[in-house]
A and B are shown apart, each in its own frame.
Chain A
Amino acid sequence: MPEKILKAAGGLVLVALPFIVRNDYYLHLMNCIFMYSMLGMGFSIMWKNRLITCGQAGFWAVGAYTSTLLVMNAGVPFWLALLAAGIASALVALLTLSIALKAGPLQFFAITLVISFIIMQVLGVVEFFGGWHGIFGIPRPTIGSFVFLSKTSYYYLALFLLSANVFIFYALYRSRIGRAWTAIGLSASLAEMQGIDVYRYRLAATVIGCFFAGICGSFYAHYQTVLVPTTFSFQCSIFAQMYALIGGLSYYIAGPIAGAAVMVLLPELLRPVAEFQPIIYGVLLILIVVFLPRGILSIPQRFPVVRGFAQIGAKLKGLPISIKNLRK
């Protein structure tokens, strides 16, 4: 029970946060964390099937540009465009990655990178998409007469999208499909032997992950109101991987959120040495890969002292706290 109470309390804090923190800048950081967690979770759902995507940025871009062009050129309302962005992104994934998946996981890994690079190139070169200098003045979302202007309103929009994403992924992971994904992740050949259609389940995970990347892209476009193709570079795909890795690759929902929080808040500390930032990221990545390959969420399980402290809460119920009990 205490875990459920903790989760409910966390949710309440998140809902009440704009009333506690009045600073727009901190709310902007929170919005970034929500947005990037969605990207990281899209990576995670493929990683559950042991597929590595290097193309999150490309599908993010497809969503962002679809939604922008629909709203600006065709006058489609934002909420429809949001859905259309996800569907467009999922369709691109279905058309290209279904072929890549047939070739194998290694080919999938390489082709996602190639596709994401080509999407960026096309967005930059073709004038219809605004060229390298980008698109400006993207309209903000509206509900009736209410226009999303303040950071607070965007905060709730982002929170809504993220929680929808979390609930859908959680439900999927708990269902039969999720258990099949777990089996594929443990061993693809063994899963195939159990009668699981590995190709179909992997394709489903890919399409769902890209769908949410597209939705996230639509939110990004209408939040920033400016789109530049170079935002969606290779670096961004790598960051989506880093969110999942830093949080912990085996925590498919909490991992990307924790990782995104670290990766958004870290540059704030590194602001004085901005030009050394990629080097610091590189060193951090190497250190995590070598010394903490299971991410920061694995710290409680990994170090006995921390584990002891984490268990105090559980032990409070009925058991006397003694060193002997903590050691277990």
Chain B
Amino acid sequence: MSLGLFLQSLVNAVAIAGMYGVVASGFTLVLGVMKIFNFAHGQFYMVGAFLTFAVCELFHLPYIVAIIAVFIIMGLLGMFLERFIIRYTYAGFFHQVLATIATGMILSQSAVLSLGKTDRFITPVVRGMINVGGTVLSYEKLFLIFLSLALIVGLHYMMKLKVGKAMRAVAEDQETAELQGINARWIFLLTMGLGCGLAGVAGAVIIPVLGATVPMGYNIFVRVLIIIIIGGMGSMPGALLAALLVGLIESFGYQFVGALNEVLLLGCLIPLLLLRPGGLLGRPLAIPE
């Protein structure tokens, strides 16, 4: 492998890892705080990408407006899901999972019905490329890395604020947190909004590079599951570390095995599980019975 190919693969790895990191952070935040698997997470990501397309290409608004609009709309949609569906399914973990699966089905079919099954692209936001030691790196990928890093740093700063501390407290022990005067229901609402908003923004961030397709939501969801298994359920630093690992494996593995790199991921996942069943940085998280 030449140095140029190596550098290119490295940049690709960091770019996809950043995006996986944003999606997986939102997912693992919801999992840690609310103890539910949000199966609609991938669909929120897909709808976010399609919404960006609608805002940029159909309404001709600037890209930054699209990102903010997607965050707000997807956040509100997530809050709606929490407030009006999940809150009424008190029959247990599996029923809540099924409620999110149903939401995902509705979202993806709505996307197919309203925008068709064709792939959508937007006009490039940043053009041009840079030549580093014989390798050509497009500004687009560097912009993607910058955006996802900004989102991750923002999220981690938020977790240090009062709201973030409340979220972590509820994740630790809901009853004790409520005894300290934290309104757990309000925190659930905020967490779901934040998680789904982040998924939507990740879709908005990726559309200039990869475009928007209907199966992308499901494809990324499988990656997110692998990431949270490797990183540890409900652990945000673990999710970031695992996202970087998965990005590296996928980007370099693609050179050798091509379209079968999911098998490579499974091959790395199973020995890791044998060594550390709880994930790299996770503590055991039990399904509430």
Q: Are the chains A and B members of one assembly?
A: yes
Q: Which residues of A contact B (CB under 8 A)?
A: 47, 50, 52, 96, 99-100, 102-107, 109-111, 113-115, 117-118, 121-122, 125-126, 187-188, 234, 238, 241-242, 245, 249, 275-279, 281-283, 285-286, 289-290, 293-294
Chain A residue at minimum C-beta to C-beta distance from B258: A125
Chain B contact-residue range equals 35 or more
B270-A293 in contact (CB<8A): no
B1 within 8 A of A: no
From residue 33 to 71 of chain B, which have CB atoms closer than 8 A to chain A? 37
Q: A281-B102, A290-B85 are in contact. List 7 more A-B contacts (CB 8 A).
A: A104-B284, A113-B225, A118-B263, A282-B102, A282-B105, A283-B102, A293-B91
Chain A residues with CB below 8 A from B289, complex form: 50, 187-188
Interface string of B83-110 (1 = CB under 8 A from A): 0010011011011111101111110111
B145 within 8 A of A: no
Given A279-B109, A286-B85, A103-B263 contact (CB < 8 Å): no
Chain B residues with CB below 8 A from A113, complex form: 222, 225
Chain B residues with CB below 8 A from A275, complex form: 109, 113
For this complex, 20 residue pairs linking A to B, each with C-beta atoms less than 8 Å apart, are A99-B274, A103-B273, A103-B277, A104-B277, A106-B286, A107-B233, A107-B277, A110-B225, A111-B225, A113-B222, A114-B226, A118-B262, A125-B260, A126-B260, A238-B105, A242-B98, A278-B106, A282-B109, A285-B102, A289-B102
A279-B105 in contact (CB<8A): yes
What's the least CB distance linking B130 to chain A, in Å?
A: 34
Chain A residues with CB below 8 A from B179, complex form: none
Q: Which residues of B contact A (CB under 8 A)?
A: 37, 85, 88-89, 91-92, 94-99, 101-106, 108-110, 113, 218, 222, 225-226, 228-229, 233, 259-260, 262-263, 266, 269-270, 273-274, 277-278, 284-287, 289
What's the least CB distance linking A238 to chain B, in Å?
A: 6
Given A241-B98, A278-B109, A293-B95, A121-B262 contact (CB < 8 Å): yes
From B89, B226, B233, B286, A290 is in contact (CB under 8 Å) with: B89
Chain A residues with CB below 8 A from B101, complex form: 238, 285
What's the least CB distance linking A293 to chain B, in Å?
A: 4
Chain B residue at minimum C-beta to C-beta distance from A124: B259
Q: Which 4 A-B pairs have the closest CB atoms?
A: A293-B91, A285-B102, A103-B277, A282-B106
What's the least CB distance linking B237 to chain A, in Å?
A: 19
Interface of B, helix, strand, loop or mixed by DSSP:
helix
Chain B residue at minimum C-beta to C-beta distance from A52: B94
Given A106-B285, A278-B109, A290-B229 contact (CB < 8 Å): no
From A100, A125, A245, B98 is in contact (CB under 8 Å) with: A245
Chain A residue at minimum C-beta to C-beta distance from B98: A289
What's the least CB distance linking A110 to chain B, in Å?
A: 5
What's the least CB distance linking A32 to chain B, in Å?
A: 20
Chain B residues with CB below 8 A from A47, complex form: 94
Chain A residues with CB below 8 A from B229, complex form: 103, 107, 110-111, 114
B260-A279 in contact (CB<8A): no
Give Cα A78 to B215, complex, Å. 36
Which of B94, B110, B218, B285 has its CB near the most chain A CB atoms (within 10 A)? B94
Given A118-B263, A290-B89, A293-B91, A105-B287 contact (CB < 8 Å): yes
Which of A47, A104, A275, A278 has its CB near the most chain B CB atoms (within 10 A)? A278
Chain B residues with CB below 8 A from A188, complex form: 289
Chain A residues with CB below 8 A from B95, complex form: 245, 289, 293
From A102, A114, A242, B277 is in contact (CB under 8 Å) with: A102
Chain B residues with CB below 8 A from A114, complex form: 222, 225-226, 229, 266, 269
What's the least CB distance linking B111 to chain A, in Å?
A: 11
What's the least CB distance linking A116 to chain B, in Å?
A: 10
Give Cα A143 to B203, complex, Å. 55
Given A279-B105, A289-B91, A99-B85 contact (CB < 8 Å): no
From B89, B97, B104, B105, A52 is in contact (CB under 8 Å) with: B97
Give Cα A109 to B229, complex, Å. 10
Chain B residue at minimum C-beta to C-beta distance from A105: B287
From A103, A238, A282, B103 is in contact (CB under 8 Å) with: A282
From A111, A122, A278, A281, B263 is in contact (CB under 8 Å) with: A122
What's the least CB distance linking B101 to chain A, in Å?
A: 6
Chain B residues with CB below 8 A from A107, complex form: 229, 233, 273, 277
Chain B residues with CB below 8 A from A290, complex form: 85, 88-89, 99
A99-B262 in contact (CB<8A): no
Chain B residues with CB below 8 A from A111, complex form: 225, 229, 269, 273
Give Cα A103 to B110, complex, Å. 36
Chain B residues with CB below 8 A from A245, complex form: 95, 98
A103-B260 in contact (CB<8A): no
